[in-house]
Structure formats: structure tokens, C-alpha cells
Amino acid sequence: MTFFKYLFTKTFLRQLLFAVLALLILSFLMLWWLRVTTNHNQRIEVPDLAKLSLDKVEDVLDELDLRYEILDSANFNPEYPRFSVIEQLPKAGKFVKEDRKIYLTLNPSDYRKIKVPEVVGKTGRQATPTLLAMGFQIGKVSKRPHISDHVLELRYKGEKLVPGTEIPKTSVIDLIVGDGSQNRVQEETNDTEENTDETGDNGGN
């Protein structure tokens, strides 16, 4: 029997059919295994984690077989609780696979600290916009007898504040400013002395 005639025998055709069936079954099993291992049809909706503490975040994600990683802290937002989630990736409502990692940005405990600028010795009109531009707030402005109208002292929470000290942004700073009264007294004294001298000179004539 030649090879060509053997290709059309029942024995060969039966073996060929078994081989095709085995290949189809193997392919089906491989596709099924890939779907299971890669969660091909599994979709988990990402929950809204905004304003949740890390303890609550962990509980929520554990129930959904999801994980999290903290990226960084954002600028302090007073509308969110301290150390709560302020941003997340992927966003809430997105669909992900099991064991997906959710990246979180947390709200810090307070505003970041910045250095108090050197405004002592400047006029109140110069110091106020400088402090406001830095993100501070101006509290009580007190006058103190002095020869100038410059800023004599800064105070924070009732304590003397040294320029260069780091305090939280948006902190309220009180100003103590000279009232220029001693300068006016000196000018009035000088004017009085000049008038006295002129009167004395006229009397002598």
C-alpha cells in the first residue's frame, strides 16, 4: 500500500479525527485557563474613597479584593478631614480587575509651613501686602508710641514672632506699628524752640 492510498484509509482518517478533536479540546482548555488566570471577564467598580480615612479605605478595598498605595500628600484642603483621601487613581466608577492597585493622595494634617518674611522696619502699607502675598492673614494691628510709623514687632498667637520662623500658611499675624507720635512731639518741640528764638531776637532789637 502506497502512502497516498494510506491517507484515505479508515485507520488514518480515524486517527486524524482524534487528533483534531484533541487539538480543539486542548485549545478550549487553554483559553479557559487564560480567562480564569487573567480575570478576563471580571470587572470591579472602583468605589469612591474621597474623605475616607486609611482604616476605612483598607476595609472597603479588602472586600473588593483591591489594593492601595499612597502616592503623596496634597496641599491641605480644609474641606477634607485630616489624613483622608483627597484624590484617587483610577477614579471612582471606573472598572478594574481583581487585585488592582488604587493610588491615593492624602490630605495632610495642616497647611504647609512657610517662613515669615522680614517686614519689621517696613511701613504698615508695605508689610501688609507682603504678608498677604505669602498666604498669611493680618490680625490685630496695634499702635505703639514711636518716632516712625514702621512695623516694630510681629506676634503669632500672642507670642513675639521672629522673621524667618516657619509657621503654617494662612496663620493670623498681629502687627505692632509705630504711631509716629514721638516724631510729632519732636517736631513740635523744635517749632517751639524756633519760635522762642525768633521772639527773643525781636525783643532784643
The span from the CA of 171 to the CA of 98, in Å, is 45
Fold annotation for 113-183: Trypsin Inhibitor V; Chain A (3.30.10)
pTM value is: 0.55
Residue 96, SS3? strand
User: CB–CB of 101/67 below 8 Å?
Assistant: yes
For the stretch 31-66, pLDDT in tens is: 877 766 655 556 899 999 999 999 999 999 999 999
Q: What are phi and psi of 167, to 5 degrees?
A: -135, 160
Tell me the CATH number for domain 44-106: 3.30.10.20
Backbone φ and ψ of 113, nearest 5°: -85, 140
pLDDT of 112-138, one tens digit each? 899 999 999 999 999 999 999 999 999
Determine the pLDDT at residue 15: 81
Helices first, then strands: H and E counts in the chain: 5, 11
Decide if 149 contacts 179 (C-beta within 8 A).
yes
pLDDT score for 84? 94
Q: What is the pLDDT of residue 201?
A: 57
For the chain, the domains span 44-106, 113-183
